Amino acid sequence: MKKFTYFTSEFVSPGHPDKVSDQISDAILDACLADDPNSRVACEVFCTTGLVVVGGEITTTTYIDVQEIVRKKISEIGYRPGMGFDSDCGTLSCIHSQSPDIAMGVDVGGAGDQGIMFGGAVKETEELMPLALVLSREILVRLTKMMKAGEIAWARPDQKSQVTLAYDENGNIDHVDSIVVSVQHNEEVSHAEIEKTVIEKVVNPVLEKYKLNTDNIKYYINPTGRFVVGGPHGDTGLTGRKIIVDTYGGYFRHGGGAFSGKDPSKVDRSAAYAARWVAKNVVAADFADKCEIQLSYAIGVAKPVSIKVDTFGTAKVDEDKISEAIAKVFDLSPRGIEKALELREGKFKYQDLAAFGHIGRTDIDTPWERLNKIEELKKAINL
């Protein structure tokens, strides 16, 4: 009898209360950077029934209309009157300027804080991402699009998915074990209709794309039987509570720092993007089948305190040599990362990353997904 190990990743929709907060935080960041690319932003949002609270440190030369940004984003996400939370909510702004004690370290090119950041890549999908996370995300991308297009008229914005994969003794994916989907809905729709629609129109088309073994799959669709009250009306939302959803679904480690609402001088964000960039190029160069990069920083110091490479026993090149090559090829100072990854140039919106994840996106041209350092890495290792 075959023995399996199981791995699960989850994802949440843009209408999840924590994601509502993330997107508002990043919409405020986008507004600041649009007129003042050198803005310093650390903005967090709390949302609940009828109220959005915006707080944090912002130093910028531009003016931003917080109320307008909040209301526009809530409307875009899809919350309407009658759902318990909508754009006609109260907003409270508690923003002040960045601490001069922090600014003095950032002004000279140092990191905005101490911290550890991780990035990873694995040969499970074309984009070198963990498959469980990719499937969980694609299910909700499809469900959200169908909701907004009116193809699933009973669906509301707050949605969750979860995918469990079974791995054989060699570490290869054998089959899909289970799928969980919870979707907020109108009062009138029956549970049977929700279950049938989600499985047939949302989940199955995603699974078919990857040609996976689904013979004995277990489905859990709205397992409580009812999900009418949702969003910030059903649960409070807070910026930065979905950091695992934002990255690798738990497949790789996470340093603990959130991304949303932070300008690129914050290494919580920029160095995590850089670590993904490094790991993806290492795997694409075929130095390993799986790679995790850890970067660490000290506040006010430009160069990383440490760079650690872990290939989980899949390395085809000595890990020490990989680490040395990374240090030669990549400028991992905060300003070097900002420049290389075009983090202040307005080529993408941070709020779009907050909606469906910051890592492994194929629908947005994010520079940290580019495979543009493969030859330099090979040259550095003399391959």
Phi–psi pair at 231, nearest 5 degrees: 65, -160
Residue 35 counted as an annotated binding residue: no
Residue 57 counted as an annotated binding residue: yes
Burial class (CB in 10 A: 0-12, 13-18, 19+), 255: buried
Residue 159 counted as an annotated binding residue: yes
Rounded Cα distance between 305 and 274, Å, is 15
- In contact, 287 and 377? CB cutoff 8 Å: yes
Residue 16 counted as an annotated binding residue: yes
Residue 258 counted as an annotated binding residue: yes
In the chain, the N- to C-terminal Cα span, in Å, equals: 43
Residue 18 counted as an annotated binding residue: yes
Residue 339 counted as an annotated binding residue: no
Rounded Cα distance between 20 and 306, Å, is 34
Residue 235 counted as an annotated binding residue: yes
Residue 262 counted as an annotated binding residue: yes
Rounded Cα distance between 172 and 166, Å, is 8
Residue 67 counted as an annotated binding residue: no
Residue 227 counted as an annotated binding residue: yes
Residue labelled with tokens 């603990």: 256
Helices (H), the chain: 17-35, 66-77, 100-106, 131-148, 191-197, 204-210, 231-234, 243-246, 267-284, 319-329, 334-340, 350-356, 374-380
Residue 196 counted as an annotated binding residue: no
Residue 158 counted as an annotated binding residue: yes
Binding residues for K(+): 44
Binding residues for Mg(2+): 18
Binding residues for ATP: 16, 158-160, 226-227, 235, 241-242, 258, 262
Binding residues for L-methionine: 57, 98, 235, 266
Binding residues: 16, 18, 44, 57, 98, 158-160, 226-227, 235, 241-242, 258, 262, 266
